[in-house]
Amino acid sequence: MMGSSWRRAISDLRYWGAAACIAGLASGCSSVPVEDRDRVRDELDIAAQESLQRFIEEDAAIAKELAAAPGYMVCNATTLMVAALGSASSACVLYDQQRRTRTYLDGTSLNVGVGLGSVEAEYLAIVKTEDMLDQLQRGRWVFQPSLGGALGDASSAYILADGDLEVLARSESGATAVAGVGITHLNVNQELTDTGLATISFPTLGASSPSRQTEAAPRKWPHRLPFLAQDVVDLGFNLPNPYGIGITIADVDQEMTLTDLMVGFNGTEPKPYEFVAFNDTATELRTTQIKVDAWLFPFMNVFAMFGQVDGDIQMNVLVDGDKLLSQAGKDCSKVIKPVSCLVLEGRNVTLPIRTGVSPITYGAGTVLAGGWHDWFVALPINITYSEPNNAVANGRSFTVTPRGGHAFQLNRLGRLSLFAGGNYLDSRNTVNGTLIVPKTDIQLEYRIKQRNKDRWALVTGFNWDVSPRLSWTAEYNGFIGTRESFISSLVVRF
Residuewise pLDDT in 10s, the chain (494 residues): 445 555 555 555 555 554 554 444 444 444 677 778 888 899 999 999 999 999 999 889 999 999 999 999 998 876 554 555 556 678 899 999 988 889 999 887 655 554 445 557 788 889 999 999 988 888 876 655 554 444 445 555 555 666 788 888 887 655 444 444 556 778 888 888 888 899 899 999 987 665 566 565 678 898 999 999 999 999 989 999 999 999 999 999 999 998 898 988 877 788 898 877 777 788 899 999 999 999 999 999 999 999 999 988 888 888 898 888 888 888 888 878 888 888 888 888 888 888 888 889 999 999 999 999 899 999 999 999 998 766 567 889 999 999 999 999 887 788 999 999 999 999 999 988 888 888 888 888 888 899 999 999 999 999 999 989 999 999 999 999 899 999 999 999 99
CA 255 to chain CA centroid, nearest Å = 31
Beta-bridged to residue 422, according to DSSP, are 458
Name which CATH class applies to 240-493. mainly beta
Beta-bridged to residue 110, according to DSSP, are 87, 183
- CA dihedral (65, 71, 76, 80) in degrees, to 10, reads -80
List, in order, residues 6 or more apart from 25 with CB less than 8 Å away: none
* Per-residue confidence (pLDDT) for residue 29, from 0 to 100: 43
Buried b / exposed e along 202-230 (16+ C-beta atoms within 10 A): bbbeebebebbbeebbbbbbbbebbeebb
CB 392, CB 450: distance < 8 Å: no
CB 313, CB 353: distance < 8 Å: yes
* Per-residue confidence (pLDDT) for residue 438, from 0 to 100: 85
CB 482, CB 283: distance < 8 Å: no
Alpha helices in 281-440 (DSSP H): 321-327, 339-344
Angle between helices 61-68 and 37-58 (to 10 degrees): 130
> Taking Cα atoms as reference points, which of 492, 459, 313, 471 lies closest to residue 388?
313
Neighbours of 11 (CB within 10 A): 13
Q: What is the DSSP letter of 411?
A: G
What residue spans in the chain does CATH classification 2.40.128 cover?
A: 240-493
Return d(Cα 323, Cα 12) in angstroms, integer. Answer: 47
Element (H, E) at 43: helix 37-58
Return d(Cα 450, Cα 428) in angstroms, integer. Answer: 6
Query: Mind listing the pLDDT tens digit for each residue in 15-66?
Result: 555 455 444 444 444 467 777 888 889 999 999 999 999 999 988 999 999 9
